[in-house]
A = this chain, B = another copy of it.
Amino acid sequence: MGTLATYRQVVQEVLTAYYQETAGAMAGVERQLVLDPTRDHYLLMTVGWEQNHRVDGCVLHLDIKDGQIWIQHDGTERGIANDLLERGIPKADIVLAFHAPYKRPFTGFGVGRDQAEPQAA
């Protein structure tokens, strides 16, 4: 397991790189980088207007919890987990939190413990 400081740095670097790559991709829609290393929540939001339609959503949502990086939401095409792996984060320390806990052992990534733990039906 890496140090918390290293994980914080990697998460912020990965989000910032993706933000810089994709900023300005949609006219009229603003990308927002939201970094809260005090509470360990890291997001990329989109907000604005596409013609007369309101755009207001979360593209990426990562947390650091109990020494692991939790991908709460991933709206990217390439999968942000790949960026984390490339920067040396071990698979066991990445939790694909959008998969239910009972499915996670089959992902090859970290397991982790949610407050509610949905069981297989």
Residues of A whose CB lies within 8 Å of any CB of B are 27-30, 32-36, 38-39, 41, 43, 45, 47-52, 54, 56-58, 61, 63, 72-73, 97-98, 100, 114-118, 121
**A72 with B100: in contact, given A43-B43, A61-B47 (CB under 8 Å)?**
no
Question: Once the chains bind, are A34 and B28 in contact (CB under 8 Å)?
Answer: no
Question: Once the chains bind, are A48 and B114 in contact (CB under 8 Å)?
Answer: yes
Residues in B whose Cβ lies below 8 Å from that of A34: 34, 36, 39, 41, 43
Question: Which one of B28, B52, B116 lies within 8 Å of A27 (CB-CB)?
Answer: B116
In angstroms, Cα B61 to Cα A56, docked, is 9
Question: Once the chains bind, are B56 and A72 in contact (CB under 8 Å)?
Answer: yes
Between A and B, 14 residue pairs with Cβ closer than 8 Å are A27-B115, A27-B116, A28-B115, A32-B41, A32-B63, A33-B41, A43-B43, A43-B45, A49-B117, A49-B118, A52-B118, A54-B100, A56-B98, A57-B58
